Amino acid sequence: MKALMRPAFTKYILVVLSVLATQFNFAKEKEEKHADDGGIVDSQEEISEYILHHIKDAHDFHLFSYTNGDGERKHIGFPLPVIVYTSEGLRAFMSSEFHHDDSGHHIVEADGVQLVKYHEKIYELNAGAHAVKFDHETHKPTNAASVLDLSITKSVFGILLVGVLMLLAFGGLAKQYKNDQIPTGFARFLEPLVIYVRDEIARPNIGEKKYKRFTGYLLTVFFFIWILNLFGLTPLGFNVTGQIAVTFCLALFTFLITQFSGTKDYWKHIFWMPGVHPVMKVILAPIEVLGMFTKPFALMVRLFANISAGHIVVMSLIAITFTLKASMGIVGSSLISIVLSFFITLIEVLVAFLQAYIFTMLSALFIGLAVEEHEH
């Protein structure tokens, strides 16, 4: 019994530490941002701005900040490679080279090209410009041009990290299977999950004849989304599956596999449904074609919205500390914030698995409908 309770206890401790670390970072970020105004500002607009900034991608990792004995702000984190294609060609440097100027922008000189980072978007400044300016109506820069950003951002770093971890984990499992060994170590934990995806998702939705052909993709999608969702609950600030570009690509893969694997019966049911009056066939065909695109669109939006909403809810509950401290005091508001954030984070652990399961299940269902052979 003690052996069974130990992993669960460890998981709860990690969740508590994650919540506390996030709340500590929240407070320090706001203190840093408003130090010139004499302390932390409790404005709802500022809190909302910070939450939206938290779920966005970034060009570096910022773990936390502190003030040393000399009153200087020190930032703990690590930079990431910035790779941009400018009018003068390719430029590459570390994000730590960006520095604040007097206007609050992040400026860097890269081999004769002056670049500025504003709200995590990089622009190339025109000759003689020292800060990017925006048109009030169009909100487009008037003295700078956008660059092709190929940087290794937090999301890209997370994708690469999870990819390497999956290669190592499943490579070890495959090696043990190849040698006819009983899985040991971490592979022993992966085996029942692999069997579950195969027997409970792929086989019943795609069919006995063709499920093996698509099981590899379904396993990849399931573990990729699940592990990234779990990373998103750590203080590192990962929010990869909360980026619409990532969920779009995942849904696009499912869409392409579904369409290119479709049988003649699948296409016949879309454009000229058998057993239906010709007039109804003309009416149903556009609806079926529209359904081809609404299915992956639902996959994309569902994953993006649920993961982003989870992060926003947790950060909003942490913000209770700052919005209620005037009436309840910092101790009472912090206690409420920690308790609520703790339980929501526990739910997010379940949601991390659930969203990976739903995406994989629906992908298997769509593929199964496309490869099914009908008997009329």
Establish if 364 belongs to a structural domain.
yes
Q: How confident is the model at residue 335 (pLDDT cuts 50, 70, 90)?
A: confident
Give yes or no: residues 214 and 347 share one domain. Answer: yes
Establish if 57 belongs to a structural domain.
no
Give yes or no: residues 100 and 120 share one domain. Answer: yes
Give yes or no: residues 233 and 139 share one domain. Answer: no
| % of the chain at pLDDT higher than 90 | 27
- Across residues 122-141, what is the average pLDDT? 79
Q: Last residue of some domain: 151, 184, 208?
A: 151
Provide the 10 A C-beta neighbour count for residue 31.
16
Alpha-carbon distance of 17 to 23, in angstroms, equals 10
Establish if 305 belongs to a structural domain.
yes
Give yes or no: residues 118 and 262 share one domain. Answer: no
**pLDDT at residue 107, as a whole number:** 78
Establish if 197 belongs to a structural domain.
yes
Give yes or no: residues 118 and 183 share one domain. Answer: no
In single-letter form, the type of residue at position 166 comes to M
Provide the 10 A C-beta neighbour count for residue 169.
17
**pLDDT at residue 313, as a whole number:** 78
Alpha-carbon distance of 108 to 124, in angstroms, equals 10
Establish if 315 belongs to a structural domain.
yes
- Digit-coded pLDDT (tens) for 354-365: 999 999 999 999
Residue corresponding to tokens 């099914």:
372
Give yes or no: residues 206 and 345 share one domain. Answer: yes
Establish if 71 belongs to a structural domain.
no
- Per-residue b or e along 204-233, where b marks 16 or more CB atoms closer than 10 Å to that residue's CB: ebbeeebbeebbebbbbbbbbbbbbbbbbb
- pLDDT(256) > 50: yes
**pLDDT at residue 44, as a whole number:** 66
**Whole-angstrom distance between the N-terminal and C-terminal Cα of the chain?**
56
Give yes or no: residues 166 and 144 share one domain. Answer: no
Give yes or no: residues 344 and 293 share one domain. Answer: yes
Give yes or no: residues 172 and 290 share one domain. Answer: yes
Q: Last residue of some domain: 125, 151, 177?
A: 151
Q: What tokens appear for 160 in the block?
A: 């690469």
**pLDDT at residue 375, as a whole number:** 64
**pLDDT at residue 23, as a whole number:** 46
Range with top average pLDDT, 68-82, 230-244, 289-303, 310-324: 289-303
State which residues form the domain around 273.
155-371
**pLDDT at residue 30, as a whole number:** 44
- Digit-coded pLDDT (tens) for 264-288: 888 888 888 877 788 888 888 889 8
Residue scoring higher pLDDT (104 or 169): 169
Q: What tokens appear for 295 in the block?
A: 């299915």
Give yes or no: residues 344 and 296 share one domain. Answer: yes
11 CB-side CA count, 13 A: 13
- pLDDT(11) > 50: no
In single-letter form, the type of residue at position 53 comes to H
The pTM of this model reads 0.81
- Which one, of 312, 321, 296, lies nearest residue 344 by Cα? 312
Alpha-carbon distance of 267 to 265, in angstroms, equals 6
Establish if 67 belongs to a structural domain.
no
Q: Give Rg (Cα) of the chain.
A: 25
Structural domain total, the chain: 2
Give yes or no: residues 131 and 109 share one domain. Answer: yes
Do residues 144 and 165 touch, judged by C-beta distance below 8 A?
Answer: no
Q: Last residue of some domain: 151, 176, 211?
A: 151
- Residue 145 phi/psi, 5-degree rounding, is -125, 150
**pLDDT at residue 33, as a whole number:** 44
Give yes or no: residues 141 and 242 share one domain. Answer: no
- Digit-coded pLDDT (tens) for 30-74: 444 443 343 444 566 666 666 776 778 888 887 766 677 776 666
Establish if 323 belongs to a structural domain.
yes
Alpha-carbon distance of 268 to 281, in angstroms, equals 11
- Residue 143 phi/psi, 5-degree rounding, is -130, 25
